[in-house]
Chain A
Amino acid sequence: GDSVTQMEGPVTLSEEAFLTINCTYTATGYPSLFWYVQYPGEGLQLLLKATKADDKGSNKGFEATYRKETTSFHLEKGSVQVSDSAVYFCALAHGSSNTGKLIFGQGTTLQVKP
C-alpha cells in the first residue's frame, strides 16, 4: 500500500543554519504531496503542497519539490529561526482514490537553538 518515510529525528540546528528534512514515498499513480507542521501545543497546519511532478511548493521560506523520478519531496529552508522549532510531517493524498485521505510519515522533530 501507499506509504511515506521521513528521516529520523530529532534534528537540532543553530539559528540561521540550512535545513533539509528528507521524505520519500511509495504510491501507485500520481499522488499529491504535502508538508504539515505542528507547533508545540497547536494543531497540524498545512505548510506547503505540490500536486504534480516537478511542482515546487513554498511557504514561509520553506520549499519542497515533487520529484517523481526519486519519489521524494524533501523539505528545505535556507535559514532557520528558533520559531521554526516544531514537528514536521510529510504526507500524500492519493488522487486515484479520490477521497482526499492523507497518509502521513512518522514526523520529524526540529529543534532550533539560538
Chain B
Amino acid sequence: EAGVAQSPRYKIIEKRQSVAFWCNPISGHATLYWYQQILGQGPKLLIQFQNNGVVDDSQLPKDRFSAERLKGVDSTLKIQPAKLEDSAVYLCASSLGREETQYFGPGTRLLVL
C-alpha cells in the first residue's frame, strides 16, 4: 500500500516570496492533516480536513497561510508571503477517520532566507 506522498521534499525561498506544498494521502483516507514542525519542537497542527471540509484551522495563520483539499483527496498548503519564522518541516498525515491512526508523509523542509 502506498504511503502519504508529499512534494517537494526541500524548498529554499526568500522572505516575502510565496510557496506551495502538495500532499497525496493514502487512498480512501477521509481525514487529512497538515502539521508544522519547527526545529527542536514537536509537530503542531495547522489544519485538519474531513473529506473536503475544514474541521480545525484554529492554529493556521490565516493572514499568510491557506490550504485546500479539492475533491476530498489531494491537498495543497500555501504560504504567501513567507517569513523567516516559517522555516520548518511541513508534515502531511492522513487517517481513515478522525479517531483512527494517523500516517505521516516524509515532509517538506522549507528554508526561508
Report if A and B associate in a common complex.
yes
Residues of A near any B CB (own CB < 8 A): 4, 32, 36, 42-46, 49, 89, 91, 93, 95, 98-107
Query: How many A-B contacts at CB < 8 Å in the complex?
Result: 60
Give the size category of B's interface with A: 20 to 34
Contact B98–A100 (Cβ < 8 Å): yes
Choose one: B31, B41, B55; the contact of A106 (CB below 8 Å). B41
Give Cα distance in the complex from A4 to B41, angstroms. 11
Give 27 CB contacts A-B under 8 Å: A32-B99, A43-B3, A43-B91, A46-B101, A46-B102, A46-B103, A89-B43, A98-B98, A99-B48, A99-B55, A99-B56, A99-B98, A100-B31, A100-B33, A100-B48, A100-B99, A100-B100, A100-B102, A101-B33, A102-B43, A102-B45, A102-B102, A103-B45, A104-B44, A105-B42, A106-B42, A107-B41
Chain A residue at smallest Cβ distance from B6: A43
Contact A44–B99 (Cβ < 8 Å): no
Chain A residues closer than 8 Å to B107, beta-carbon distance:
43
Chain A residues closer than 8 Å to B35, beta-carbon distance:
102
Please tell me if B73 contacts chain A, counting CB pairs below 8 Å.
no
Chain A residue at smallest Cβ distance from B45: A101
Within 69-107 of B, Cβ neighbours of A (below 8 Å) are at 91, 93, 95, 97-107
